[in-house]
Amino acid sequence: MYGGGNTFEGFKSDSITQEDPAKLAEFEARISRGEKIEPTDWMPQLYRKQLIRMIEQHAHSEIIGALPEGTWITRAPGFKRKMALMAKVQDEVGHAQLLYSAAETLGKPREQMIDDLINGKSKYSNVFNYPTFTWADCCFISWLVDAGAIVNQLANAKGSYGPYCRALDRICAEESFHLKYGHHCVIHLAAGTQKQRDMFQEALNRWWPPMMHFFGPSDKISTHTEVLMRWKVKMGTNDDMRNQFLDMYVPKIWELGFTIPDQNLKKNTETGRWEYTEPDWDEFKRVINGDGPCNKERLAVRRIAEERGKWVREALKVPKSTYVTPLA
């Protein structure tokens, strides 16, 4: 899946103006022809830096994203739901492995990425800093967070960096199962008792603001969109992705008889764009910078996992000296 090696020599300067103009022009021509950039190809330092940032954050989001649903494996209603949820959570961790490998092709070692996650230096998706109080929270994530992720990932799978695109193709195939599973869970609640419907409505009310944040700050205030769109790492702006999600899923939510907690939400038929109350970007900033309801808990769990797994990683480094002949 991934090309071997890379030409990474550390960041001397990530300013585009410091790059060799001829190399930069050829690189941009390749991108505009729709060619994939591979790890051993020449690339501007800023392209490499941005990709590492984005792929690494994506990997962290998958691994931390396994936690809010993971806590429901023991409490999932019934054996089939338990098995499906277990498989889903396992898939999310697998996605993180694919993404860490893709980020490694750009020269940042996995150990450093994990260190940056558990020390709070790197970001991960805002949504996973909220608690899953009820089974309906878990259903919301499986259906709608996965739906949002697919909207973003299907677009970016057509982007310019080969290893990231190939990882996204594989991830999207698995996510589409998650989405179907999540939709099935929500339909079950919608068609159930009043108590079940209320439980999902209550979850939806709590999750809607973080879901609107999920696609990133509005285009007016997004820092990285311009350069990422220029180099086809992002194939749509944050507002485009949010709009596409609303287009696809608001009708489905309404169809099931649920309401969305935003009185201003409506589609403008002239522009084809959804109008909504401006999300609270101060809350978003607080949450992504470590001060959400569950940030500390999420990182503490990862820190413990890292410490407990240390002996395995050490043993794998010296397989011969630690090999023990099985007794039976």
The contact set with ligand BYC (CB under 6 A) reads 53-54, 57-58, 61-62, 65-66, 92, 123, 125-126, 141, 145-146, 149, 152, 213-217, 222-225, 228, 234, 238, 288
Return the number of the residue (45 or 126) whose C-beta is nearest ligand BYC: 126
Nearer to ligand BYC by Cβ, of 58 and 298: the residue is 58
CB of 123 to ligand BYC, least distance (A): 5
Nearest residue (CB) to ligand BYC, 113 versus 145: 145
Least distance (Å) from ligand BYC to the CB of residue 220?
11
Cβ nearer to ligand BYC, comparing 200 with 215: 215
Q: What are phi and psi of 239, to 5 degrees?
A: -65, -35
- Round to whole Å and give the CA distance between 324 and 209: 53
H/E element, 275: strand 273-275
- Pick 58 or 232: Cβ nearer ligand BYC: 58
- Provide the minimum distance between the beta carbon of 20 and ligand BYC in the complex, in angstroms, as a whole number: 26
- As measured in angstroms, the least distance from the Cβ of 288 to ligand BYC is 4
Distances (CA, A) of 262 to 208, 212, 229, 252, 320: 9, 11, 30, 16, 61
β-strand 273-275 against 266-268: which pairing, if any?
Answer: antiparallel
Q: How far is the CB of 149 from ligand BYC (least distance, A)?
A: 3
Nearer to ligand BYC, 112 or 315 (CB): 112
> Which position's Cβ is nearest ligand BYC?
65
Query: Shortest distance, CB of residue 162 to ligand BYC, whole angstroms?
Result: 16
What phi and psi, each to the nearest 5 degrees, are found at residue 267? -90, 130
Indicate the residue among 152 and 160 with the shorter CB distance to ligand BYC.
152
Nearer to ligand BYC, 6 or 142 (CB): 142
In the chain, what is the straight-line distance between the N-terminal and C-terminal CA atoms, in Å? 38
The contacts of residue 231 (CB under 8 Å, 6+ apart) are 28, 31, 47, 50, 160
C-beta of residue 48 within 8 angstroms of C-beta of residue 106: yes
User: What minimum distance in Å lies between the beta carbon of 27 and ligand BYC?
Assistant: 20
Q: Which residue's CB is nearer to ligand BYC, number 76 or number 149? A: 149
What single-letter amino acid sits at 197? R
- Kindly state the smallest distance separating residue 152's Cβ from ligand BYC, in Å: 5
Q: Which CA distances in Å does 276 have to 130, 243, 269?
A: 22, 10, 14
How many whole angstroms separate alpha carbon 215 and alpha carbon 63? 18
> Residue ranges of the alpha helices (H) in the chain?
21-32, 45-70, 79-104, 110-118, 135-140, 146-156, 162-190, 194-214, 225-230, 238-255, 281-286, 295-308, 310-317, 319-322
Nearest approach, Cβ of residue 80 and ligand BYC (Å): 19
Alpha-carbon dihedral sign for residues 94, 173, 66, 98: positive
Residue 120 C-alpha from the chain's centroid: 17
